[in-house]
Chain A
Amino acid sequence: MRRLAVALVVLALAILGCGSPAASPSTAWWVDSSVSMPPDLQAAVVSQSMAPAASGQAYVVRKASVDGDWAIVSSMAVSPGSSASPAATGVPPTEMTVSIAHRVGGSWQVVNERDTAAFCTALKDVPPTLVSAEEASYFTGCH
């Protein structure tokens, strides 16, 4: 019961924060308003992705692709509390970070590439429609 309550709170926070990153500067992850993704997946990404706290950065989801029970999510680093546009805020750009989501028993399990072992395991199982062999070859640490 307590798990359900926590999940509902996380979901509510995620929906409130959708598309308005400046309103939730303490959240390490949020979703750009231009990205379309199922609410339950969005909530899972926001709540489960590994926060890169070491660099003090936050992440905004810029692209999400879903195929059945699998999804791949690309996120961009920004400064906490800033908008999603590096050019507008003066936050210099970098590269994206990738998360793989897998729905098991009706719940999305999200693993970010920074969680090496779990991510590499998920990478082997994700459908090629979401991550092609060429794309997977980027992750040299998984091979």
Chain B
Amino acid sequence: MRRLWAAIPLLLAAVLMPTQPTHASNPTPYQLPALGGTPLHVTQGNGDGNHDVASGSQYAFDFATNGYPGNSGIAAFRVTAARAGTIIGLRTDAHVSCPDLSCWTQANYVLIDHGDGTSGLYLHLLSGGPALAVGDQVAQGEEIGFAGSTGYASGIHLHFMVEQTPRASGRTVVGWWWTSSVPVTFSDPDVVRQDPDGVPKAGQVLVAGSNRIDAVAASATGPTASGRESWNLRVDYYLSGSPTPPPGATLAVFMTPMPLLPNSVGQSEDLSTQAGTGTTISTVWYDGSVPGPRTTSVLVCLDFTWTAAGATPGPGGGVASESLQLVCREFALVKQW
């Protein structure tokens, strides 16, 4: 409980501020275009294969993934916006894939204008995907589709490049969304760890993203004999491990739901054995049932701390631990009865 109270100022700060960590040594605005925790295989980097000057894609990247999540084949993966911006072009109804130039314009894609003369092109997406439209504002990390093989591709992957924003006057020409690429770097902790220059290289496997948590399910059940409602929240989380604890340190992860209801309590859970990526369930109780459907919200925080090897945690143990990250998100819960 003391831990909970001590966290309140930090929780308030987390509500008011974005939860994405910053990386002073690599201030690029780009993150790998996949959900945090996705292992991306760089099948072609800058200047590799057909990423050349003639095609204008010399600064492009091809990302694919094997066996994520949970299968052994080359899999589609959820594509996210590498940088925030406005959608100025997209196609989601293409089903054609072929290994020659004849279908290069037949790809599903999303083109996001960054507002500085550059746009992010996400190519070869599966048909369908999230409901998006030209003019939509997209946040960094927001899902924009699934990797696919539509258009000029030899299999499922994402072709991502930042390019010069097409002129508005030329946007009726077939293939108008394909221009000349520009160099970019990425801030993802795993990219920085493997590539100090921030540029992914062919053959590398890079884990996308920084710490994050997402709600994957939420439910409420009826009051018990004691008059308690039970609100269940299932969250998916990913820890990037940045900053990295020193060797031998013990990583502790606590999930703390903070009910935004009076007379309610949350259950703090020790997720230390699940550090990395995974799914867990937390429960929030509310004393006293309120009849009728109702929506409320809960603030869930993951508190990552490490304890140095040989140090004694807790009072009297000296400076034994240090907070790594406090990641919080607010989720909506709906009671149906």
Within 8 A of B (CB), among A25-64: 52, 54-57, 59, 62-63
Question: Closest residue of chain B to A123, judged by CB?
Answer: B54
Are B56 and A135 in contact, CB atoms less than 8 angstroms apart? no
Q: How many A-B residue pairs have CB under 8 A?
A: 135
Produce 1/0 per residue, B135-161, CB < 8 A to A.
Answer: 000000000000001001111110100
**B122–chain A nearest beta-carbon distance, Å:** 14
Question: Which residue of B44, B58, B73, B180 is within 8 Å of A94 (Cβ)?
Answer: B44
In the bound complex, residues from chain B placing their C-beta under 8 Å from that of A56 are 202-203
In the bound complex, residues from chain A placing their C-beta under 8 Å from that of B83 are none
In the bound complex, residues from chain A placing their C-beta under 8 Å from that of B53 are 116, 141
Question: Which residue of B47, B66, B154, B179 is within 8 Å of A90 (Cβ)?
Answer: B66
Produce 1/0 per residue, A12-25, CB < 8 A to B.
Answer: 00000000000000
B227 at the interface (CB under 8 A from A): no
A110 at the interface (CB under 8 A from B): no
**B39–chain A nearest beta-carbon distance, Å:** 11
Are A141 and B55 in contact, CB atoms less than 8 angstroms apart? yes
Are B50 and A141 in contact, CB atoms less than 8 angstroms apart? no
| Chain A at the B interface: SS class | mixed
Binds A, one of B97-105, B182-190, B239-247: B97-105
Produce 1/0 per residue, A107-143, CB < 8 A to B.
Answer: 0000001101001100100000001101101111110
Are A139 and B56 in contact, CB atoms less than 8 angstroms apart? yes
**B30–chain A nearest beta-carbon distance, Å:** 20
Question: Closest residue of chain A to B181, judged by CB?
Answer: A140
Question: Which residue of A93, A114, A140 is within 8 Å of B154 (Cβ)?
Answer: A93
Instruction: Indicate whether A86 sits within 8 Å of B44 (C-beta atoms), given known contacts A92-B74, A114-B54, A135-B101.
Output: no
**B306–chain A nearest beta-carbon distance, Å:** 34
In the bound complex, residues from chain A placing their C-beta under 8 Å from that of B174 are 134, 137
Are B179 and A93 in contact, CB atoms less than 8 angstroms apart? no
Interface of B toward A, CB cutoff 8 Å? 41, 43-45, 47-50, 52-56, 58, 62, 64-66, 73-74, 99-102, 104-105, 149, 152-157, 159, 173-175, 178-180, 202-203
Interchain residue pairs with CB less than 8 A apart (12) = A55-B44, A62-B100, A77-B48, A92-B65, A92-B157, A93-B149, A93-B157, A94-B49, A94-B153, A94-B155, A113-B55, A138-B178
